[in-house]
Structure 1
């Protein structure tokens, strides 16, 4: 009974802390901001590594405040023990030295914004979240800092890439596999095994920056697929004369028989060049592809019809017909 009582008490205290933190911040109490700076490391230079050799009990207690309800305090303690044992035994990995942020909303896009707005956060090693994921099979939303360049001043600053911890870890493992096997970005280049695997602890920043670059590239790829799917499905429904889609897309209160016929005639006869121009205007497709021919090439050679994951077989046939109507210059 005492164990259950302690667990309930800890959950209640956790909720009270969250409420108190929100109330204090919303009231803009100077004392509250001072406390937040101390507790969440806002007063520590962000380039200074934190807890890379041992995870403290204080960090675990703070991290618990950011955890979903399903993660227990003991799960964090167990992850702490595994992380610290790995450091003590000399078996640390480069992920143990990669610092990430927990607790930030995704609209915080840089460390400067995080500090200027005094956002509650915790900086901790990615390796700790890897241990936690193995224990709980729960992935956390986190942010990994990386170097960006201001387009106006040309000065470097630290941006934030938001992702699930398991996605970052999986991408890191794929990076190591590509380095070891000389595949992907490392195919045909110099053998980087000695430098980036054997001596990885001396190249942590370089590996992290390359990891983020690859993740952002994949993020852009996934987004481009979303844009293609959205454009194709919309065009297909307009070509079918779907009244609700026509009203929503053209901003009409009602659809006349004439408008219905015109929509069918226009959108059902698009080739890929016309589709590209239309989708670029309405959906920004030209952010990802140069022209209609580039779009066809990418779909056929790199994306593949199956990878587009179109909603219905009719959407697939609509795309195939559009490609068939296109003359390649």
Structure 2
């Protein structure tokens, strides 16, 4: 069992309270996944300064920032901020350059997020405790999501947390199971895609990333996923300018969407949405089976 929340802010006046809103929403799904939580936030300029790339890393050695800085052209200053199991590195370079330098400097570390507008945190433990570790209530920005997990098929560790962020400024969270993920994985590997885990959700994330890299928009990418994957799922997918929700054709996994002129939100349970500002004025609905819902920044 898992819990999903996501919030896309349309009103810039709400950007300073993104973290507080997400933290309150997280409390509404904490019981669905008390084992671990992953969080992604977009647009926090303290955590990802303008003109900088950010890379989120698990199993980072203590001297990683200095080593990475020495590998980058011009040896720019690299900042490292640790929050529990996650270390976030930022530097005034391109995303691909920073990811490559991290991988070269620490081959045993795991990159779990990257972008120019995105920070990802992952850890095992109760969602409320980890939210404090990540400083969630202090987050600012325009978009965020979180995934709580009660492990059923894999170990309880930070590596197994969602979101899966396998493309720059891209995230996918998943409640459900893809039954043919091994077949899709083999096809992606045949095309040159590398994987970090055996998790079925990573296969979904890499499939969507491949579609986006081919030029698809979020709606088309998720429609292609529905045509390719078997199983049951609720997915929330975010990018540098998009927010999308889709359920499979049977729609056995829960999801509620609330749409307001100032924001769009989704959650596994309505109680996670109940305290959002203006919720009484929002359009609240359960997404239709198989239909892709998208919003753009």
TM bracket (short chain): under 0.3
Greater fraction of residues in strand: 2
TM-score of the superposition, structure 2-length normalised?
0.24
More helix by share: 1
Q: Which has the larger radius of gyration?
A: 1
